[in-house]
Chains A and B, each alone.
Chain A
Amino acid sequence: MTDDAGVSTAVQLFPTCLGDVLARQTVDDTERVLTALGISHSRPSGTTCCGQPAFNSGHDHPARAVAKATLRALDDGSDEPILVPSGSCTSMVRLHWRELFHGTPEAEGALRVARRVRELSSYLAEHTEALRALKPTLAVRVGYHDSCHMLRELRIKEAPRQVLATIAGVELIELASSERCCGFGGTFSGRYPEVSVAMADAKIDDLEFAKIDVLVSSDPGCLMQLAGRMSRQETPVRAVHLATLLCEALA
């Protein structure tokens, strides 16, 4: 299905493993936003994880086994975009599956899926007019955290800000540390917890933090890290996914 502008209006949603365990709200909210936009969406059954935790730890074998299950579920013969509410998982599928499946029978399928995956905010940024027409409104001061994989692998920086700009009442305050890593790093956060937490603090201690109500990001991993530290420190700032903020603004 495509709309008049030729933009695909039927999409699939890959929740990712974090979306299946800890960030279910993010997935729900993504679906709500898509529904509000009149974009029909479905979740392919049988997806698991993109394999990144093992791949980034150097364990290609289990990474491939797990990613293969997700690949099978996503490579369904359609060419609908596959939206992923995580910059990091998008980057894994889009850029690293090629390498992971190189020389295996799944190589072609991996390329097909890699071409279809879209990071959520970059997809929504193509629908800013439709979003504006829905009159999303929320009076909050927002800081945005650029996740590393989204910024430096997918090179997406403007899209989430364009989406934020569709919300009436949102004041975006650029954080000096917006591009600095939050210290999550997947298994890094468990291998070196103290360093990881110190890195989160380096973001939270950003002076501009005092000026914001909400910290927004497009990566559930970073949000888990930052929300976790902010909760422990009782920092009076909420950390939410872009889809959640949008959903609240549409409510």
Chain B
Amino acid sequence: MSATREDVGGTPLPPGWAQPAHQPDAFEISTTTFEQRATETMARPFARRAIANATDHAAALTTARFVGIDHDALRDKARQIRAHAIANLPDYLDQWIDAAEAHGTIVHYAADESEARRIVAQICRDEAVTRVVKSKSMASEEVSLNSALEAIGIDIYETDLGEFVVQAMGDRPGHVIAPILHRTKDEVHALFSTMAGRELPNEAEALTAFARDRLRHAFLTADAGISGGNFLIAETGEVLLVTNEGNGRLTTALPKIHIALVGIEKIVPRRRDLAVLLPLLTGHGTGQQITTYVTMVAGPRREQEPDGPERMHVVLLDAGRSALLGGEFEEALHCIRCGACQNVCPVYRQVGGHAYGWVYGGPIGAVLTPLFRGQVEGGELAHATTLCGACDDVCPVKIPLHDLLLGLRRRRDEEGCVPRSEQLAFALWGQVWSRPLLYRASTAVARGSLRVIARDGVLSAKAPLLRRWTAGRDLVVGRRRS
């Protein structure tokens, strides 16, 4: 063979093009607060505007997508399908494994994040993999896969355009569907121009063309493709992927090894269930009737087939999922990661995904982070919402996010994770306000003091006990008209 693997077409990226991925570790999540992290995003006005615009736009697309459709009935069906699948998860998983193995897929089970990293690393070693192309996978974010593989000397190329930007910047995805929702086109333009070593036209087509050219080379030279999976179809043993850029198809078909890392909760019983779930996933994710590509992969290439990988591995990721089965928070497993709850969340709209500290932001992030990472790391997030209920109303599989958040707040109290000062304050409050006489006395005192410290019926700043409240707002006490 005369051609080396480097002159296959496309332009290779120079070494060091990607910044080391910043994966927040347990220490970091538990030593910074939501407030601190939120302030970081809020201090960047561009990011704030980008997030607000993008989420408003996405939410509007979703609404428009389901006009004239009995959306609620569809969501009810989807809820039933998900509830049934999760209630029978072990059985459907067995069925899926049997069917997948019959296709020649090699199935692995990762109980936790470190096991997932170990399994994928071992596959790479066994298969002598040195270069990997990846399509978007939140599961791989959960297990910090990239840094683990980089550590053993593997070159990784994120091939989803957004993830490519994330990787080049050493950033983290800020949204489950749109990883660079917190970035502006100008930022991407500046980044790509630096990478290209020349000023690129600041137009979407030119920027995409640049990424495509660089990624083409990566695709053609990679030994393995790593993907996630949107659904696992129990009856057929297939992994289903939805993408819009075609990179999912290339990742799963071009390199000689395909590895899919998929959360075990992605199981659905039958192909026909997708008639309900797929339009909801895409409609709530991007407002599309269907994504440009829907890829169903069942095993490696068979003899008569012209393409496909020589071997296909699926790593089923548990990492906190099976512990939720049968419990108060089981419904969190119904999630199909459409991102719609993030798009309508008024808190997410201000602070973006990174404020939530780990992989998932918005309402579902506030639920999953404490469940998957524990109270110490993620418990506070259950409070980082106003319980406005917008997420409940949009969720395509009708997860009662509001109730789950409230349940997590309760569990935090039961497990003694609430600061002592808060415990005491509520205990005292309970003592006083459960007695009507004391209540009357206390409200009279409150009214009296407010009147004394207020000026013109307004309490403006630095009032004792109210400092946090009045830092950015007045307390309008008002005067009663008689």
Enumerate chain A interface residues (CB-CB to B < 8 A).
17, 20-22, 24-25, 28, 45-49, 53-54, 56-63, 65-66, 68-69, 73, 148-149, 152-153, 179-181, 183-200, 202, 224-225, 227-229, 231-232
B470's nearest neighbour on chain A, judged by CB, is A228
Chain B interface (Cβ within 8 Å of chain A)?
34-35, 38-39, 42, 48, 52, 346-347, 349-351, 382-390, 392-393, 406, 408-413, 418, 422, 426-427, 429-431, 433-436, 439, 443, 446-447, 450, 458, 460, 468-478, 480-481
Q: A47-B436, A63-B430 are in contact. List 13 more A-B contacts (CB 8 A).
A: A17-B433, A17-B443, A48-B439, A58-B382, A62-B431, A65-B430, A69-B436, A179-B390, A180-B346, A188-B385, A188-B387, A197-B471, A231-B476
Instruction: Report A108 CB to chain B, min CB distance, Å.
Output: 20
CA distance A199 to B52 in the complex (A): 11
A193 & B471 in contact (Cβ 8 Å cutoff): yes
Shortest C-beta distance, A156 to chain B (Å), equals 13
Bound form: Cα–Cα A190–B384 in Å: 11
Cβ-closest 6 pairs across A and B = A62-B430, A185-B386, A58-B409, A228-B473, A197-B472, A152-B389
Q: Which of B388, B429, B473 contacts A54 (CB 8 A)?
A: B429
Contact check, A184 vs B386: say whether CB atoms are below 8 A apart: yes
Say yes or no: A195-B351 contact (C-beta < 8 A), given A62-B429, A65-B434, A232-B474. yes
Q: Which residue of chain B lies nearest to A189 when distances are taken between CB atoms in the complex? A: B469
CB distance from A151 to the nearest CB of B (A): 8
A231-B47 Cα distance, complex, nearest whole Å = 27
Interface contact A58-B386, CB-CB below 8 Å: no
Secondary structure at the A interface, as helix, strand, loop or mixed, is helix
8 Å CB contact of B430 from A54, A187, A198, A200? A54
On chain B, the residues within 8 Å of A45 by CB distance are: 436
Binding site of B, secondary structure by majority: helix, strand, loop or mixed?
A: helix
Partner among B406, B468, B478, B481 whose Cβ is within 8 Å of the Cβ of A190: B468
Give Cα A228–Cα B38 distance, bound, in whole angstroms: 22
Q: Are A24 and B480 in contact (CB under 8 A)?
A: yes
How far is A68 from B475 in the complex, measured between Cα atoms in Å? Answer: 29
Pick 7 A–B contacts, CB within 8 A, sort by A. Answer: A28-B481, A149-B389, A180-B390, A194-B472, A195-B347, A202-B346, A232-B472
Report B253 CB to chain A, min CB distance, Å: 44
A205 vs B56: C-alpha distance in the bound complex, in angstroms?
A: 15
Q: How many angstroms between the C-alpha atoms of A63 and B413 in the bound complex?
A: 13
Q: Which residue of B lies closest to A46 (CB)?
A: B436
Residues of chain B within 8 A (CB-CB) of A63 are 430
Chain A residues in 8 Å Cβ range of B426: 54, 57, 59, 62
**Beta-carbon contact of B411 and A194 below 8 Å:** no
Name B38's closest neighbour in chain A (CB-CB): A195
Given contacts A20-B443, A62-B430, contact A181 B436 (CB under 8 A): no
Q: Shortest distance in angstroms between B42's beta carbon and chain A's nearest beta carbon?
A: 6
Contact B429 A199 (CB under 8 A): no
Do the beta carbons of B386 and A194 come within 8 Å of each other? Answer: no
Q: Which of B382, B409, B434 has the most CB of A within 10 A?
A: B434
- B residues near A17, Cβ cutoff 8 Å: 433, 443
A62, B478: Cα distance in complex, Å = 30
Given contacts A152-B392, A180-B346, contact A192 B430 (CB under 8 A): no
Residues of chain A within 8 A (CB-CB) of B351 are: 195
Across the interface, name the chain B residue whose C-beta is closest to A26. B478
Contact between chains at A152 and B393 (CB < 8 Å): yes
Q: Which residues does chain A contribute within 8 Å of B52, judged by CB atoms? A: 202
- Chain A residue at minimum C-beta to C-beta distance from B439: A48
Instruction: Give A27 Cβ to nearest chain B Cβ, in Å.
Output: 10
Name which residue of chain A comes closest to B465, CB basis.
A190
Q: Is the CB of B472 within 8 A of A60?
A: no
Closest to B445 in A: A21
State in angstroms the CA–CA spacing of A17 and B432 once bound together.
Answer: 13
Q: A58-B412, A202-B350 are in contact. Are A69 and B469 (CB under 8 A)?
A: no
**Min CB distance, A55 to chain B, in Å?**
8
Across-interface contacts of A47 in B (CB, < 8 A): 436
Q: Find chain A residues with CB under 8 A from B410 CB.
A: 58, 60
B480 with A25: CB separation less than 8 A:
yes
Return the contact of B433 from the options A49, A61, A197 (Cβ within 8 A): A49
Task: Give bound CA distance, A46 to B447, whole Å.
Answer: 18
- Smallest CB gap from B386: residue in A: A185
CB–CB A199/B347 < 8 A: yes
Q: How far is the CA of A25 from the CA of B435 in the complex (A)?
A: 24
* Shortest Cβ gap from A119 to chain B (Å): 16
* A192 adjacent to B346 (CB under 8 Å): no
Residues of B within 8 A of A152 (CB): 388-390, 392-393
Given contacts A59-B413, A185-B386, A192-B35, contact A197 B473 (CB under 8 A): yes
Of listed A56, A188, A232, residue having the most chain B CB within 10 A: A232
Of A184, A188, A189, A198, most B-chain CB atoms within 10 Å: A198
Q: Are A69 and B350 in contact (CB under 8 A)?
A: no
Which chain B residues lie closer than 8 Å to A25 at the CB level?
478, 480-481
Selected from B390, B436, B473, the residue in CB contact (under 8 A) with A48 is B436
Choose from B383, B390, B392 the contact partner of A188 (Cβ within 8 Å): B383
Query: Distance in Å from the Cβ of A42 to the closest Cβ of chain B?
Result: 16
Which residue, of B406, B443, B475, has the highest number of chain A Cβ atoms within 10 A? B443
B472 near A69 with CB under 8 A, answer: no
Residues of A within 8 A of B412 (CB): 58
**Also in contact, A148 and B436, with CB within 8 A (given A189-B469, A227-B476, A231-B474):** no
User: In whole angstroms, how far apart are the Cα atoms of A119 and B418 in the complex?
Assistant: 33
Provide the residues of chain A in CB contact with B409, threshold 8 Å: 56-58
A199 and chain B: residue at smallest CB distance: B346
Which of A68, A190, A198, A227 lies in contact with B350, CB distance below 8 A? Answer: A198
Query: Given A58-B410, A68-B434, A192–B38 Cβ distance below 8 Å?
Result: yes
Q: Which residues of B contact A187 (CB under 8 A)?
A: 383
User: Roughly how many angstroms separate A98 CA and B409 CA in the complex, as a whole number?
Assistant: 18
